A and B are shown apart, each in its own frame.
Chain A
Amino acid sequence: MSLRRLLGLSVSVIPFVMLAAGLNAPSQAAGVDDLTPVTDEMLLNPPDGDWLMWRRTYNGWGYSPLDEINKDNVGDLKLAWAWAMTPGRTQETPLVHDGIIYVQNSDHTIQALDGASGDLIWEYQYELPDDAPVRGVRNKAIYGDNLIVATRDAHLLAIDTKTGQLVWDQQVANFAHGFGFSSGPIVANGVIVQGTTGCSRAQPGGCFFTGHDPNTGAELWRVNTIARGDTPEGNSWNGVPLEARHGASAWIAGSYDPDQNLIFAGVGQPYPWNAEISGLSPKSSDPNVTNDALYTNSTLAIDVSTGELEWYHQYLPNDSLDLDYVYERLLIDLPVDGEERKMVVTSGKIGIIEALDRTTGEWLWGVETVPQNVVLSIDQQTGEKTINPEVIPIIGQTTFNCPADPGGRAWQATAYSPRTQALYLPTVEFCSNTTVNVLDPGEIYTGGGRQTYSRVPVPDGDGNIGQVRAINLTDQSEMWMYRQRPAITSSTLPTGGGLVFVGSLDRKFMAFDDETGEMLWSSGKLSSSLESFPITYEADGKQYVAITANFASGLGRLASLTPEVKIPANDPITLYVFALPD
């Protein structure tokens, strides 16, 4: 049974330390009674001061038009309040509506806080089963009067935004088989769309996207991420039967194009990574069979009302290096070769930004960012890649590949600013000596790894592991790049104030000039590395910028490359909220 606790407005906030003088005095708690329902229209055109979905808008930009904090005054930015969250591991994206900020702790305590004062309004404790992983979930959704929350044990919850009371609880999959949610849903055209992860071993057949009724949580449709049946797609697994196909996790929320009523979402790679072990190599001699392993490393265009797969594009067939083209999809309309194109833009761990025409799936262009030795070339007509055969892991050998897991970019999302028409990427530069190893140290326990990555700096590099890159999407040229030794570990947040916020492994939250890359502000050292998704919002007419400081499973793993950077071993998690002095 889940425990519900409704706390009054008088609950005091956990004490926090003011980092500097002249900070905001806590304002009155926002009135939850005045909360407005989140409508379809609101999701299509969110109020400037709200952050209603993972990347704020359906187009996945991660951009806020707020400009009270701007290039001229960001240097005055101070801590407004902080909130200690349950220690552990998370990759949190807070949501904000009508000045109320909602967070999900790693132990699945869901909390509503006054966005201006940081005061706790209510909290709801979802009780994970004892043997479920206790970790956060990247994002939530909000629709009508409900916060829609995904759990690590593969449930979807609707929680009343005013009271914190559970409205419904829908189990989507059996977590005992490994299924779970590490990201949450988006709600589009009245349908909750959720992707599933954890499809590597005990549940053959891969993962899936599901559509759900927002009133009840009932499942409306399901799209399998591993192709099946006697079709060209279903025959793309080298003759391996469905029960021996693994992977294709759908672990990042998608974007939505209301004009086409399509969700665009990514799918991860096949498992295990090594193609000899997965049965994808050597290629079958059957002319009717390929080893592309669809729909791994693809964009899927799914009709949100019916669950029909309208089209797909695969970026990297038969991936044996965990290069994961699963991340955020940005819907951007810009000219390509003089013709206005409706694009869907993404990049995988290899850091090559690629654009498709989102009405047809046609590949349009690609541009390299981080140093990489995996892709030798890309066909400009089709996007087909020529892979460097020397980097493909082979049993009994050590190969050298750049980048490697966790990627030249990881789950930390890129963001797009319409002000500059630039994509802002948090990236890292490194390579790996990679060897294949066994998986089964115990009968039950796994994790010996499909491959072992001994990470090393890029040969002849300058020692700077972390970068923030600004790529002008009108011509795919590099606008600017910021480099530092510790990894850049948060998503980017461009704003209407001409700023790009980002966090790093060495516990700093920074703001850059979106046009020049000049660093205009940096926080003091916060409580841990910043591996999360920064947001900005408005409460009581004032702009705030928020980020969760936490160690997570992304680029924090690169700490081995910068051993001088120390982060707390007990994995504290703190929500920090910054604002200008009154």
Chain B
Amino acid sequence: MPIVFAFPRLAGPFLALALAVPVAALSPGAVSAQEPEFFERPYAPGQWTFGRRLDESQLRYCVDERDPDWKVAGAIADAVAQGLLLAPQRYVVKSKIIMEDITKVYAVMLEHCDIHMGFKLIPGGYSNWATLTRAYYETEYVFVTADPDIQSLADLAPARPIGATMGTSAHIRLVSYLTALPREDRWPTYPMGTNDLALQSLLNGTVDVALVWAPHLWAKQREEPAYADLHVIDPNPLPPTTMGVGALLLADETFVRTAVDEAIAALSEDGTIAGILEEYGFPATALP
């Protein structure tokens, strides 16, 4: 016989003895979480030592050399600074850590930069301490394979597995699509921890198709011959999953955000950003 639990559980007689207080109006905010420690309110060692900076003739920006597009983003940030008649001050984040909690950006920004390039415009994807500029380019997640016979996702037989970079918008879209299919028509989909791991699983034959961030594939194919033969396939029957990329700011930097947004709009309008993307052969488009 199972024990059957009741919900809601009835409050016991102990309540009368407890120090009950009236319920105040509550407005709990939506918060995000990850494992095993996560902080809705970021903390940086010595955070109170960072005061208002005095030199306002500079645009201090961060790029992270672990980002595949960091040189492209740096060129765009330089153009933004120039457009605002400010001197660009680049800080390149260098680290061996493969994945980091986003609150680490808080500490980096306190010390080094007004804007941090390279963040996806995900609705509801950020906590209250951060805000994003408008997108300076748009790119997409891509399905990739080494099999020359596969030109679109529709060519992939149902039993053949896909290695998807875990938890991306494209992965979630793929999973949602598969859920609607009969079991026998689904592709097994394995969550890979990073774009790198997804591509590695493709190279070592664990999966037949990898779902990765297009800039990551672009960087890999420029740097390592082993990735040269991989090709992007048509996502059909799925639509493309595109994503704007902008810069992250601390939420109270509203003036900077407005100025940078205006600069990005102007640089998109006059073709500057498109020119930078073309110069690097980068798989993205400037947004009108």
A377 touches B (CB below 8 Å): yes
Within 8 A of A (CB), among B128-145: none
A564 touches B (CB below 8 Å): yes
Total chain B interface residues with beta-carbon distance under 8 A: 90
Main secondary structure of the interface of B (DSSP, over half): loop
Minimum CB distance partner of A134 in chain B: B45
Q: Which one of A201, A276, A371 contacts B9 once the chains associate, using CB atoms below 8 Å? A: A371
A368 touches B (CB below 8 Å): yes
Q: Complex Cα distance A76/B36, Å?
A: 39
Q: Which residues of B contact A438 (CB under 8 A)?
A: 122, 125, 167-169, 172
Q: Which residues of A contact B122 (CB under 8 A)?
A: 437-438, 440-441, 448
Main secondary structure of the interface of A (DSSP, over half): loop
Minimum CB distance partner of A395 in chain B: B176
B61 touches A (CB below 8 Å): no
Verify B102–A455 contact, CB threshold 8 A. Answer: no
Verify A553–B37 contact, CB threshold 8 A. Answer: yes
- What does the 1/0 interface line of A500-518 toward B look like (CB < 8 Å)? 0000000000000000010
Verify A376–B4 contact, CB threshold 8 A. Answer: yes
Verify B216–A443 contact, CB threshold 8 A. Answer: yes
Minimum CB distance partner of B64 in chain A: A444
B43 touches A (CB below 8 Å): yes
Verify A368–B5 contact, CB threshold 8 A. Answer: yes
Verify A107–B100 contact, CB threshold 8 A. Answer: no
B197 touches A (CB below 8 Å): yes
B120 touches A (CB below 8 Å): yes
* Interface band, chain A: 35 or more
B240 touches A (CB below 8 Å): no
Q: Which residues of B contact A260 (CB under 8 A)?
A: none
Q: Complex Cα distance A438/B103, Å?
A: 16
Verify B66–A444 contact, CB threshold 8 A. Answer: yes
CB distance from A156 to the nearest CB of B (A): 19
Q: Which one of A176, A395, A464, A517 contacts B98 once the chains associate, using CB atoms below 8 Å? A: A176
Q: Which residues of A contact B102 (CB under 8 A)?
A: 441-442, 445-448
Minimum CB distance partner of B1 in chain A: A380
CB distance from A181 to the nearest CB of B (A): 11
Q: Which residues of A contact B20 (CB under 8 A)?
A: 462-464, 483, 485
A84 touches B (CB below 8 Å): no
Verify B8–A460 contact, CB threshold 8 A. Answer: yes
Q: Which one of B45, B96, B215 contacts A131 once the chains associate, using CB atoms below 8 Å? A: B96
Within 8 A of A (CB), among B24-56: 24, 26-41, 43, 45, 47-48
CB distance from A383 to the nearest CB of B (A): 10
Q: Which residues of A contact B32 (CB under 8 A)?
A: 437, 447-449, 452-453
**Interface residue stretch chosen among A308-316, A415-423, A474-482, A540-548:** A474-482
Q: Which one of A131, A251, A552 contacts B97 once the chains associate, using CB atoms below 8 Å? A: A131
Within 8 A of B (CB), among A561-582: 561-564, 569-571
Q: Complex Cα distance A461/B104, Å?
A: 37
Q: Which residues of B contact A552 (CB under 8 A)?
A: 37
**Interface residue stretch chosen among B185-193, B259-267, B270-278:** B185-193
Q: Complex Cα distance A196/B247, Å?
A: 34
Given known A203-B193, A272-B166, A372-B5, contact A446–B29 (CB-CB < 8 A): no
B165 touches A (CB below 8 Å): yes
Given known A244-B163, A447-B103, A560-B31, contact A437–B125 (CB-CB < 8 A): yes
Verify B33–A454 contact, CB threshold 8 A. Answer: no
Q: Which residues of A contact B97 (CB under 8 A)?
A: 131, 175-176, 178, 444
Q: Which residues of B contact A561 (CB under 8 A)?
A: 26, 28
- What does the 1/0 interface line of B193-218 toward A look like (CB < 8 Å)? 11101000100001000000101100
Q: Complex Cα distance A329/B26, Å?
A: 35
Given known A372-B7, A560-B29, contact A442–B119 (CB-CB < 8 A): yes
Within 8 A of B (CB), among A452-476: 452-464
Q: Which residues of A contact B40 (CB under 8 A)?
A: 557, 560
B74 touches A (CB below 8 Å): no
Verify A373–B7 contact, CB threshold 8 A. Answer: yes
The 8 closest A-B pairs by CB, nearest first: A449-B32, A439-B167, A463-B23, A483-B18, A244-B190, A447-B102, A377-B2, A202-B98
Q: Offer 23 A-B interface pairs, CB within 8 angstroms, sorted by A.
A: A178-B98, A243-B197, A243-B201, A246-B193, A277-B191, A282-B179, A372-B7, A379-B2, A436-B172, A440-B122, A442-B64, A442-B105, A443-B69, A445-B119, A447-B101, A448-B122, A450-B34, A454-B29, A464-B18, A483-B18, A557-B31, A557-B40, A563-B26
Spell out A's residues near B (CB within 8 Å): 87-89, 107, 131, 133-135, 175-178, 182, 197-198, 200-204, 239-241, 243-244, 246-247, 249, 251, 268, 271-272, 276-279, 282, 285, 322, 324, 366, 368, 370-373, 375-380, 386, 395-396, 402, 405, 436-464, 478, 480-485, 517, 552-553, 557, 560-564, 569-571
Spell out B's residues near A (CB within 8 Å): 1-5, 7-9, 11-12, 14-15, 17-24, 26-41, 43, 45, 47-48, 64, 66-69, 95-105, 118-120, 122, 124-126, 163, 165-169, 171-172, 175-176, 179, 183, 188-195, 197, 201, 206, 213, 215-216, 248
